[in-house]
């Protein structure tokens, strides 16, 4: 896992998960505002509005948009989840830390690791 947008303050920060654990990790932390709209329930490449929530404490981490992109229709040809959070460093760090705590592995700049995050500067 990693930021898909440049580090630092901005309008949004996109956290990208890629690999076989991307969807389970995304589902563990994302809660859609419309309860019937679970992450991935509307199919691939559909953006949902909701919140990142710590599954252990139930505490709200950030208000986000999230999308599942199913393999093979992705750049990596793996399942991908993107979480579009607020662009401030605090929100981005909170989402990243939560995902790492739940088992995501950090990816390096411009690289994507299976079951990990990717980071790209745009």
- Per-residue confidence band for 40, with pLDDT thresholds at 50, 70 and 90: confident
Q: What is the reported pTM? A: 0.81
Q: Is 29 helix (H, G, I), strand (E, B) or coil?
A: helix
Tell me the per-residue pLDDT of 95-115, one tens digit each, with 9 for 90 and over.
999 999 999 988 755 444 444
For the segment 55-72, what is each residue's pLDDT rounded down to a tens digit?
Answer: 999 999 999 999 999 999
Task: Give CA–CA dist 122/23, Å, rounded.
Answer: 24
How high is the pLDDT of residue 118?
47
DSSP label at 106? Answer: -
Residue 117: pLDDT over 90: no
- Cα separation, 12 vs 89, in Å, equals 10
What structural domains and CATH numbers belong to the chain?
Answer: 2-106 (3.30.1360.120)
């Amino acid at each position: 896992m990693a930021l898909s947008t440049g580090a630092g303050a901005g309008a949004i920060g996109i956290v990208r998960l890629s690999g076989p654990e991307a969807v389970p990790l995304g589902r563990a932390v994302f809660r859609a505002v419309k309860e019937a709209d679970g992450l991935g329930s509307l199919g691939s490449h559909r953006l949902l509005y909701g919140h990142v929530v710590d599954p252990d404490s139930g505490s709200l981490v950030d208000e986000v948009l999230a999308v599942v992109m199913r393999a093979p229709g992705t750049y990596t040809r793996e399942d991908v989840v993107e979480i579009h959070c607020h662009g401030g460093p605090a929100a981005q760090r909170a989402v990243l830390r939560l995902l790492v705590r739940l088992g995501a592995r950090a990816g390096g700049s411009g690289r994507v690791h299976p079951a990990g995050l990717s980071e790209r500067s745009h």
